[in-house]
Amino acid sequence: MLSVEGIGKSFGGIDAVKDVTFTVDPGSITAIIGPNGAGKSTLFNLIAGAMKPTAGRIRLHGEDVTGLAAHEMARRGVARTFQTTQLFAEDSVLDNVITACRLRTRSHLWDALLRTPRLRHEANMLRERAMAALAFAGVESLADRPAGTLSQEAQKRVAIAMCVATEPKLVLLDEIAGGLNPEETARVIQLIRKLVEHGHTVCFVEHKMRMVMQLADKVVVIHHGRKIAEGAPNAVSRDPAVIEAYLGGNSVVAGV
C-alpha cells in the first residue's frame, strides 16, 4: 500500500530524517518507535504531505506521490492525527469533524468556487459522514458538546473520527495514547483494532511499548533520523542495536 524509499528531510543542513525505507502492507498495523527527536513526527509529516522530502520517494498503491500537498494525500486516502490534538474549543464536536474533513480534503474550495445546486446536498452528506465517524469512534453522544469540554480520551476519539470522516485507506496516528491512563489506552487499542477490522491500514508512532507489542504486525525503529531496525515486535525488542541505541542499554523494551 505504502512504500517509503530512501526518504530524507533536512532542516538547514541537519537531517531530521535520513534514508528511511520501509513498506506498509494493506490491512496491517505498523508501529514507528524511537526516542524523542528521532524524526518520527517528521516522517509522518512527509507521508501525509505536510512537508516535502529533501530526498527519496513515497509511493501509494504504486503511484509516486512524493511532494504532493496534504489535501492531495488526504484525497488519496491518507489521514493523520497530530501529536497534540487540535480542536476548536468553542465549536461543537460535530462542527470540528466537519471542518477537519473540509479543510483536509479542500472540499470548501469547491464549495466557494462552484456554487452548485448540489451544495446543500453535499453539506448534508458531509454532516452524515461526520456523524457516522463519531459513532464509529464511540463519541456520537458528544456531537453537540463544545470540543473544549472533552476528556483526554474523548479528544483522542474525536481525532480518530476526524480521520475516519475523510474515508481514509491509511491512518497515521501520532502518539494517540499520549496522556491516557492504562484503562483509557486499552480502550483506544480496541478502537485501533476496529479501524483495521473495517479495512483501514494503520501506522502509529508510540512510546508505550506494551501497546506497540500488543498491536503492531511490524515495528520500524528510528534513531537520529535513520532506521536502525525493522521487524516483528518480539524480534525488534530483542535486537541489541535497538536496546542499545533506543534505550541507552537498559531493557525496557525487552521487559514489557
Residue 84 in the binding site for ligand ADP (CB under 6 A): no
Residues in the interface with Mg ion (CB under 5 A) total 3
CB 119 within 8 A of CB 134: no
Strand partners, 79: 171
Candidates 11, 125, 241, 244: give the one binding ligand ADP (CB under 6 A). 11
Residues of span 65-84 touching Mg ion by CB under 5 A: 83
Length of the chain: 256
**Where would I find the beta strands (DSSP E) of 40-117?**
55-60, 63-64, 78-80
Residue 81 in the binding site for ligand ADP (CB under 6 A): no
Candidates 26, 37, 148, 182: give the one binding ligand ADP (CB under 6 A). 37
Candidates 30, 42, 81, 237: give the one binding ligand ADP (CB under 6 A). 42
Candidates 2, 4, 31, 38: give the one binding ligand ADP (CB under 6 A). 38
Least CB distance from residue 115 to Mg ion, whole Å?
Answer: 40
Residue 96 in the binding site for ligand ADP (CB under 6 A): no
Q: Distance of CA 162 to CAs 81, 86, 190, Å?
A: 8, 11, 17
Which strands form 201-205's sheet, in the order they lie side by side? 78-80, 170-174, 201-205, 29-33, 218-223, 226-231
Least CB distance from residue 175 to Mg ion, whole Å?
Answer: 6
User: Mapped to the 3 state alphabet, what secondary structure does 205-243 carry?
Assistant: ECCCHHHHHHHCCEEEEEECCEEEEEECHHHHHHCHHHH
Candidates 2, 7, 20, 34: give the one binding ligand ADP (CB under 6 A). 34
Least CB distance from residue 41 to Mg ion, whole Å?
Answer: 3
Q: Which residues bind Mg ion (CB under 5 A)?
A: 40-41, 83
